Amino acid sequence: MKNYFKSTSFKILLAAAVVLLACVIAAAATAGGTSPLTSALGTVFSPLQRGGAYIAAKFDDFKGGFISADAYKDRVEELEQQVAEYQSKLVDYEKLQKQVESYEKFLGVKEKNPDFQFVTGTVIGRDSADVFGSFVLNCGAADGVAVGDPVISGEYLIGLVSEVTPTACTVLSVCDPKVSAAAYEIRTGETGYTGTTAKLGIEGKIKLSGLSRATAVAPGGIVCTSGVGGVYPRGLIIGTVTTVEKEEGDISYYAEIQPEIEISEVQDAFVITDFEGKGDA
């Protein structure tokens, strides 16, 4: 058998089979409309073509979603403008809210004191050099404001008009040594007069002087204007007693008062231009 595979006849038969197989493959390729070389190249490069088409499609998608730097810049500017508008509206809202609160307090005072005549003012300036907290309101002589008019925030006395122009007025705070008022402590009814020293005024405190040795005024007591002298109407709240001390070199006593209103935070105020008893000594 081994000799047969080595024989010439077997080799001729094997060669004929190889030729026949090659003819079959060529016929099949020709029937498909492509040459054997084309089919071979197609088989090799087909995956590469599919990969290239996929990458091109993804690139088109990326290009379609691309936004230029100028477009982003315009969008950022638009958003910044919207934020600025919203902030402005928020500031206006907060101002309006404070004004509403101020007017609510005003209505309460007006109901209790129908004889009061008011002028509304908004703080338009502060003297940074004044350690006692004077400020300027946007109402003046043209509105009926005069020097010596008391200034309030709600039921609280916060100052006194010291200078007036046609459209504005300067207000000294109750913590200024130049401001004084006849006053009383509501629980005991004891009377005295308010004033302050430079030291206390800088600390934002007031003195109620003229108390007797037997005073019953104690911390927590509320001090109001008494109306004596005709400068301030009766019943405006000045502040709360924090301590009672003996005057140096005197037999009288005084009470330190903490004002109820932080002057530096006042935005709107009311000037009392007239009231029953004004100017009566």
Greater pLDDT, 279 or 2: 279
Task: Write the pLDDT tens digit of every residue in 181-222.
Answer: 999 999 999 999 999 888 888 899 999 999 988 999 999 999
Strand, coil or helix: 274: strand
Task: Quick: pLDDT tens for 233-278.
Answer: 999 999 999 999 998 888 889 999 999 889 988 999 999 999 998 9
Structural domain boundaries in the chain = 2-65, 71-112, 118-274
Q: What is the pTM of this model?
A: 0.64
CATH of segment(s) 118-274? 2.40.10.350
Beta strand residue intervals within the chain, DSSP E: 117-126, 135-137, 150-153, 156-164, 169-173, 181-185, 191-195, 206-211, 222-225, 237-246, 253-259, 268-274
